Amino acid sequence: MGENSQRLLRMATPPVTDQQLLELITGMADEGAFTELVRRHGPMVLGVCRRVLKQEQDAEDAFQATFMVLTKRATSLRSRQSLGAWLFGIARHVALRLRDKNRRRDRHERAAAGLSVDCSRDSDQMGWLALLEEELQRLPDKYKSPLITFHLQGRTQDETAKEMHLSLSTLRRRLEQAGELLRARLIRRGVGLPVGISGLASLTVDISSSFAETTSRAAAAFIKGERGTVPASLAQGVLTMMKLMKLKLLTVAVLAIAATIGLWYTVHASQQAVAEAQDRPIEKVPADAVRPAENQPEPKQKAGDDRIKPGDRLHIVIQYGIPDAQNDGVFLVEPSGKVALDPTYGRVAIGGLSPEEAETFIRKHLVDKVTLKRPLIQVTRYDPVNDDKRIAALEARVKVLEAALSKLNNEVAELRKK
Residue 266, Cβ density class (10 Å: 0-12 exposed, 13-18 middle, ≥19 buried): middle
Closest C-alpha among 18, 34, 22, 3 to residue 216: 34
Q: State the Cα–Cα distance between residues 92 and 394, nearest whole angstrom.
A: 44
The strand pair at 376-381 and 338-340 is best described as: unpaired
Write the pLDDT tens digit of every residue in 135-168. 888 888 888 989 888 888 778 899 888 888 889 9
Write the pLDDT tens digit of every residue in 82-121. 888 899 999 999 999 999 888 888 888 888 877 765 555 4
Q: At 131, which helix (H) or strand (E)? A: helix 128-138
* 25 in any annotated domain: yes
> Using N-to-C axis directions, what is the helix angle for 209-223 and 230-279, rounded to 10°?
50
User: How many domains does the chain divide into?
Assistant: 1
Beta bridge partners of 314: 331, 381
Tell which wins on pLDDT, 42 or 193. 42
> Using N-to-C axis directions, what is the helix angle for 31-52 and 56-73, rounded to 10°?
140
Q: State the Cα–Cα distance between residues 165 and 159, nearest whole angstrom.
A: 10
Mean pLDDT of 296-320: 74
- Which residue range(s) make up the domain with 129? 3-226
Write the pLDDT tens digit of every residue in 24-65. 877 666 788 889 999 999 999 998 899 888 899 999 999 999
Which DSSP string do the residues of 318-376 spell out, in sequence order? Answer: EET--TTS--EEEEEPPTTSEEE--TTT-EEE-TT--HHHHHHHHHHHHHHTS--SS-E
Write the pLDDT tens digit of every residue in 171-185. 999 999 988 888 888
Closest C-alpha among 178, 91, 93 to residue 142: 178
* CB 333 within 8 Å of CB 356: no
Mean pLDDT of 287-303: 52
The strand pair at 338-340 and 347-349 is best described as: antiparallel
* 270 in any annotated domain: no
Residue 214, Cβ density class (10 Å: 0-12 exposed, 13-18 middle, ≥19 buried): middle
* 331 in any annotated domain: no
Instruction: Count the neighbouring beta carbons within 10 Å of the beta carbon of residue 264.
Output: 18
**Residue type (1 letter), 225:** G
* 304 in any annotated domain: no
For the chain, how far is it from start to end, CA to CA, in angstroms?
32
Write the pLDDT tens digit of every residue in 14-27. 567 888 888 887 76
* 74 in any annotated domain: yes
Supply the pLDDT for residue 355: 92
* CB 264 within 8 Å of CB 394: yes
Beta bridge partners of 376: 319
Q: What burial letters (b/e) apply to 314-338, b meaning 16+ CB within 10 Å? A: bbbebeebeeeebbbbbbbbbebbb
* 23 in any annotated domain: yes
Q: State the Cα–Cα distance between residues 355 and 339, nearest whole angstrom.
A: 13
Q: At 315, which helix (H) or strand (E)? A: strand 313-319
Q: State the Cα–Cα distance between residues 211 and 366, nearest whole angstrom.
A: 72
Q: Helix/strand/coil (H, E, C) string of 242-298?
A: HHHHHHHHHHHHHHHHHHHHHHHHHHHHHHHHHHHHHHCCCCCCCHHHCCCCCCCCC
Q: At 55, which helix (H) or strand (E)? A: none
**Residue type (1 letter), 89:** G
Supply the pLDDT for residue 392: 64
Q: State the Cα–Cα distance between residues 161 and 156, nearest whole angstrom.
A: 9
Number of H helices, E strands in the chain: 13, 5
Residue 374, Cβ density class (10 Å: 0-12 exposed, 13-18 middle, ≥19 buried): exposed
Q: State the Cα–Cα distance between residues 186 and 188, nearest whole angstrom.
A: 5
Supply the pLDDT for residue 273: 64
Q: Is the pLDDT of residue 13 over 50?
A: no
**What percentage of the chain carries pLDDT values higher than 70?**
73
* 291 in any annotated domain: no
Least confident of 156-165, 311-320, 338-347, 379-388: 379-388
Supply the pLDDT for residue 256: 73
**Residue type (1 letter), 347:** R
Residue 122, Cβ density class (10 Å: 0-12 exposed, 13-18 middle, ≥19 buried): middle
pTM for the whole structure:
0.57
* 412 in any annotated domain: no
The strand pair at 376-381 and 313-319 is best described as: antiparallel
Q: Is the pLDDT of residue 287 over 50?
A: yes
